[in-house]
Amino acid sequence: MTVNTTGTTTGTAKTGTATTRSGTTGSGTTGSGTTGTAAAGTATTGTAPAAAAAADASPVPPRRTVTAAVVQAAAPLFDTPAAVARAEELIREAAGRGAEVVVLPEAFLGGYPKGLDFGITVGSRSPAGRDLFRRYHAAAIEVPGPETATLAAVTRELGCHAVVGAVERHGGTLYCVALFFGPDGYLGLHRKLMPTAAERFLWGQGDGSTLPVVDSGKGRLGAAICWENYMPLLRTAMYAKGVDLWCAPTVDDRDAWQATMRHIALEGRCFVLSACQYLRRDGLPDDLHPVQGDAPDTVLIGGGSVIVSPLGEVLAGPLRDGEGILTAVLDLDDLARARFDLDTTGHYARPDVFTLHVDESPRATVTGV
């Protein structure tokens, strides 16, 4: 399993620039030496050389791999054209490094306003806070819309898949979403089911109708956004859909997040691709004042992007202290190797004891008669 770790600005010193890990791929067990030796044991038939030659010539199944990348970066807040251009640039950069699947962080388009309170106290909203929300609402994107059309054209051109965190504007409500793109263009979205804490001031709740799993032809992609990854029933529902590449756009930069990503990889027996923002105070407009302080180099979101194998091995990252892109070549046969002894919604499930009902119908407030 080949792993490549690179940074676009900083954050490369800790993880290095290139590492090769071959111990978990099991490639040594299919080498020609073992089969050739076994065939040579037929000397009594007088055909040992021919048998050995035939064994040596037997085809070795090609490795099924996919190169994945997670992007650690942030886009300018309240500047949607610049955010889209930055997303395009990063997807192209990752694809240029061989990535076939690229994951960008939570709320990359539309922005994550870390440290802003929008003038809210219990039972009260301020005029300044309402105007700040107006700016945030205007910076969100409609789906589908010109921004998704631009990124769809990019993935069509590059022939890759991308999962991009965004803030969707739907009428007067905003949703935190993960957008799916591929060689066929825009493929769909997942709306975050449960905004966390003060995010509920800004974002509405998604429903069960946006829990897609996208078959890339090289593994099935699904997404859980930030603290959705802590929802065991959501995880179970997604595991049942056969997720192979679990995409986790996030802004959770805590060290504890790493344990969650490794746990999900082990629990779901899937590859986990977690992309976190890296955001400093100087990435916000000057007229905003986050609670963390106004020093330009104050880190608001510290990264921690990571790629994990289906047996919980960290393949790349975590990336700290700057923007960057992590890549790893994933051996898809590791999925079967890992599910040999644990398939939580298959042979390791107990449907006679536990069942989960998932309502995937859209929940519209008003429907026509």
What positions carry a catalytic annotation? 106, 192, 226
H/E element, 111: none
What distance in Å separates the CA atoms of residue 207 and residue 202, rounded to the nearest whole number? 17
Strands (DSSP E) contained in the chain are 2-6, 18-20, 65-72, 101-103, 120-121, 124-125, 161-170, 173-182, 185-191, 214-215, 220-223, 245-250, 271-276, 278-280, 299-308, 314-320, 324-331
144: preceding bond cis by omega (within 30 degrees):
yes
- 269 by DSSP, 3-state: which? coil
- CA pair distance 276, 252, nearest whole angstrom: 7
Q: How far is CA 311 from CA 77, 116, 208, 361, in A?
A: 37, 38, 29, 34
Whether 67 and 329 have beta carbons less than 8 Å apart is answered as: yes
DSSP state of 159: T
